[in-house]
């Protein structure tokens, strides 16, 4: 039986992919079987043969050193750097929940610890073409808990608190908050972390400094974030 965790973000470009890479690196360096998965990626470049390169998956592999094939890591890859629902409208092949679940279950069968990354913020629309598919529906369908990735810059209190509130409203468990690109000793950032902890009641599991090459978190604490998955 595998274990899985969902990385949600307070928005685009908070470093979810980077954090996923650090998490997978720590798992791999401790001899654990670790895999990555993402339902949809936008803003990708093309190879010489015209096929799209799943950029986030490539970044995760480079950071973590995992050997997982790119083809397993994301079923929907788009070129345009926009929300997946709009990219699909421009390029075709809209996101199908069934295919996302099929890929997720296959990764869970192959790896003991699967880290699934979200697209954008928690309300990222994956499909809006008469059929609606939002990111929380994917999280719920996969029966996952969330680790919330944020930064501690100005405005983070509002973004963290609103995301945590929405997750609670949707019945999605929040396992903790990880602050990325953290500047130790910065009074505003230190205070933002404390206020986010106070307002959400969530545990701050780590503050990752800018440019960190390793995740400073005890392995047992990291593994406790992952939920067992049913045998598929």
Report yes or no: 143 and 2 within 8 Å, Cβ to Cβ: no
Which pLDDT band holds residue 230 (cuts at 50, 70, 90)? confident
pLDDT, position 1 = 62
Catalytic residues: 38
Interval 150-197: pLDDT, tens: 999 999 999 999 999 999 999 999 999 999 999 999 999 999 999 999
Q: Interhelix angle for 156-169 vs 187-200, to 10°?
A: 20
Interval 123-152: pLDDT, tens: 999 999 999 999 999 999 999 999 999 999
Tell me what the mean pLDDT of segment 209-229 comes to.
Answer: 95
Which pLDDT band holds residue 67 (cuts at 50, 70, 90)? very high
Cα separation, 11 vs 29, in Å, equals 29
Q: What is the pTM of this model?
A: 0.95
Q: Interhelix angle for 55-64 vs 16-29, to 10°?
A: 40
Interval 5-14: pLDDT, tens: 999 999 998 9
Interval 23-52: pLDDT, tens: 999 999 999 999 999 999 999 999 999 899
Can you list the positions of beta strands (E) in 10-141? Answer: 34-38, 40-41, 76-77, 113-117, 125-128, 132-134
């Amino acid at each position: 039986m595998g274990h899985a965790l969902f990385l949600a973000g307070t928005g685009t470009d908070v470093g979810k992919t980077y954090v996923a890479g650090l998490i997978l690196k720590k798992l791999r360096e401790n001899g654990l079987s670790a895999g990555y998965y993402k339902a949809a990626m936008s803003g990708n470049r093309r190879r010489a043969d015209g096929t799209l390169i799943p950029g986030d998956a490539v970044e995760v592999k480079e950071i973590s050193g995992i050997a997982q094939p790119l083809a397993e890591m994301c079923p929907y890859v788009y070129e345009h750097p926009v929300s997946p629902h709009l990219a699909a409208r421009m390029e075709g092949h809209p996101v199908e929940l069934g295919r996302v679940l099929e890929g997720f279950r296959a990764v869970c069968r192959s790896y003991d610890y699967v880290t699934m990354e979200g697209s954008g913020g928690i309300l990222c629309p994956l499909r809006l073409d008469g059929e609606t598919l939002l990111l929380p529906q994917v999280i719920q369908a996969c029966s996952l808990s969330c680790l919330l990735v944020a930064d501690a810059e100005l405005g983070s209190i509002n973004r963290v608190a609103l995301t945590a509130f929405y997750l609670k409203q949707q019945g999605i468990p929040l396992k903790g908050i990880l602050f990325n690109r953290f500047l130790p000793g910065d009074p505003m950032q230190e205070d933002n972390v404390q206020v986010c902890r106070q307002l959400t009641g969530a545990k701050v599991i780590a503050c990752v400094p800018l440019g960190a090459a390793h995740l400073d978190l005890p392995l047992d604490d990291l593994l406790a974030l992952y939920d067992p998955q049913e045998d598929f």
